[in-house]
Structure 1
């Protein structure tokens, strides 16, 4: 059950955000063995005054089109699965949104299965 937080500068259309979420979800399904209906994505929009980034960190050019993804997931995925996820999201968002591959930052935060409750005060995974 990955939970995705997306941060970006405000101003993109509803259609853009829908395609963004769907591209991320499809990549998760294809590379992370995420089951159908397991879709939890929150998009946070920030004014330019509240969105700071290194414009040329690691010699990668960033602009105000930067999309930052934070993926919270169980600590069960292999390095190969993570690399496949990075590649899949980058490719899909490049094709669907013309998002430059240098303007996508993805970080994975791994947690144990006991750290999730989907409701009713129960840790369903343990």
Structure 2
């Protein structure tokens, strides 16, 4: 049930945008054990001045205008080890498949309860029993 928001510069190619979505989805299935076909993504392109990051770097990481912001909303319960593996898998695979700098892969996870989701019809499909 993840919802993924991907924010990239408007100079990124359509192919890169598609590959980012594929890499994130593959990591969700392999590492986070998300069910197959549970793919909800919003990819938004931004002008350079709309992607704000510290030009002097942060925590020893330097960024470029090629920065990719990935935010994943999902159900709480995954361990710290799973989250670490998820971050690594996405950064490694994006670098290997597209040449994106690992430093430019910024990921944020937002945990929520199962009852915080409606997949349509105005219903709480994962209502507590």
The verdict on a shared fold, with TM-score over 0.5 as the criterion, is yes
TM-score (norm 1): 0.96
Unaligned runs of 5+ in 2: none
Measured after TM superposition, the shift of residue 10 of structure 1 is: 0.8
Partners of 2:105 and 2:71 in 1: how far apart? 11
Unaligned runs of 5+ in 1: none
Could you say what the CA RMSD is over the residues aligned between the two structures, in angstroms?
0.8
Partners of 2:7 and 2:18 in 1: how far apart? 14
Q: How many residues align?
A: 126
SS in structure 2 opposite 1:59?
A: coil
Name the structure 2 match of 1:8: 8
Measured after TM superposition, the shift of residue 49 of structure 1 is: 2.0
Cα deviations by residue, 1:61-108 (Å, 9 ceiling, x for unpaired): 100000011110101211111011001101110111111111111110
Structure having the higher helix fraction is: 1
Moved beyond 6 Å, runs of 4+: none
Measured after TM superposition, the shift of residue 13 of structure 1 is: 1.3
TM-score (norm 2): 0.94
